[in-house]
Amino acid sequence: MQSTKTNIEDIRLLAWTLSKATANNQLDVPGEYTWAYTQQNSFSEVRSRHRSIFSSGNSIKDPEVIDFVQNLNVSKFLLDPWIVEKFENNVKSWISASTNYKLNNFELFKYVGFSAGTQESFLNYYLMNSSKRMRIFKGDYWWHMDIWEKIGMQWSYIEDDDIRSGDACICSYPFALTGDKHKHFDWLVDECNRKNVGLLVDFIYLPNSVGCVDIDLSAPCIREITFSFSKTFPVQTAKIAVRMLKEKPQDPMQKSNDENICNRLSTGLAYSIINQFPVDYMVNKYRDKQMHWCTKLGLTQTKVVHFGLGDDYTVAGRGDTNTWCSPFNQQQGRYNLGMLFENEDLLKKVNLY
């Protein structure tokens, strides 16, 4: 965790500058979400936006990837009945090509399926485990807890109770809060094996990680794994992800795959990307930039290339009800450095680089 003094005032100045640049359409690389833009260039809206500048978990908006995507004719994939199969047949070798992590016994996951974002995989996991109690570590992806609350599912943080028969677990690896292996991950695998409890491992930031993931996927409890493209490449709203299982699932998502009615536009986009960019593209390009900004801002460099850890610059005057997007989002000490990488020219002009 954090070992240096966070430069809170420098971070606030950067956050305010980027928020103002967003409002005035002055970013080097614009964002893609409406919540990232102020309706009016007013003090209150800029202040609100500046609190969430570093909060997102999404990918670096790399200009080369954006340029490639913008010049790609994805409409042609609508007429290609084999495009989903092409992607599914090639994505495992693409993931396996990196030496930055180890997925031991990866070959056991024979059933590969396109997912409309990892959220589609998660929703099907909830559905197929609807009679069970969902379990998750504090600090993991807040969307899970938010949805469980809204649909009335049983759930409990892993820290708050024993793993019991009748539970179903989820854990991100690298862990969403820290960009590293969760300190109790190995214990969780052992407990799930002992209690015959399923564990979905979400490799949410895997391609952007270095020296973090070393896992034996032969563990009986690990029956399902997921990979998100939106955390690796700037294709967030294309909803691209992959789900893999040891045994063929029998859920609505698999039915769509069997009928060959997946989103061919998104699958074609994904297939094009993995043929153009290596899996460790972001790590190779941005590792030095991560070091620069973590050193400058007094953040601890994580094993995920676009994250740094430090004190929360938004804590003054903020309660849990003012967390970004969800009351379960407690990741204010995890800084997404993407906007700093993307806007170097802007920040150099105003002497903040």
DSSP 190-259: HHHHHHT-EEEEEETTGGGBSS--EEETT-TTEEEEEEESTTTSS-GGG--EEEEESS---SHHHHHHHT
Q: What is the residue extent of each domain of the chain?
A: 8-64+280-349, 72-276
One digit per residue, pLDDT tens: the chain, 353 residues? 445 799 999 999 999 999 989 888 899 998 766 556 666 678 888 887 888 889 888 899 999 999 999 999 999 999 999 999 999 999 999 999 999 999 999 999 999 999 999 999 999 999 999 999 999 999 999 999 999 999 999 999 999 999 999 999 999 999 999 999 999 999 999 999 999 999 999 999 999 999 999 999 999 999 999 999 989 999 989 999 999 999 999 999 999 999 999 999 999 999 999 999 999 999 999 999 999 999 999 999 999 999 999 999 887 655 555 566 677 777 778 999 999 999 999 999 999 99
* Residues, the chain: 353
| CATH top-level class of 72-276 | alpha beta
The beta strands (E) that lie in the chain are given as 102-104, 111-115, 133-136, 155-157, 167-172, 198-203, 214-216, 222-228, 241-245, 300-301, 307-309, 334-336
pLDDT, residue 35, reads 57
Whose tokens are 């949805």? That residue is 147
Q: Is the pTM of this model over 0.75?
A: yes
Q: How is residue 45 written in tokens?
A: 């809206």
CB 104 within 8 A of CB 215: yes
Of 205, 133, 130, 129, which Cα lies nearest the Cα of 162? Answer: 133
Of 304, 314, 296, which Cα lies nearest the Cα of 338? Answer: 304
Report the sign of the C-alpha dihedral through residues 70, 71, 75, 80, in that order.
Answer: negative
pLDDT, residue 1, reads 46
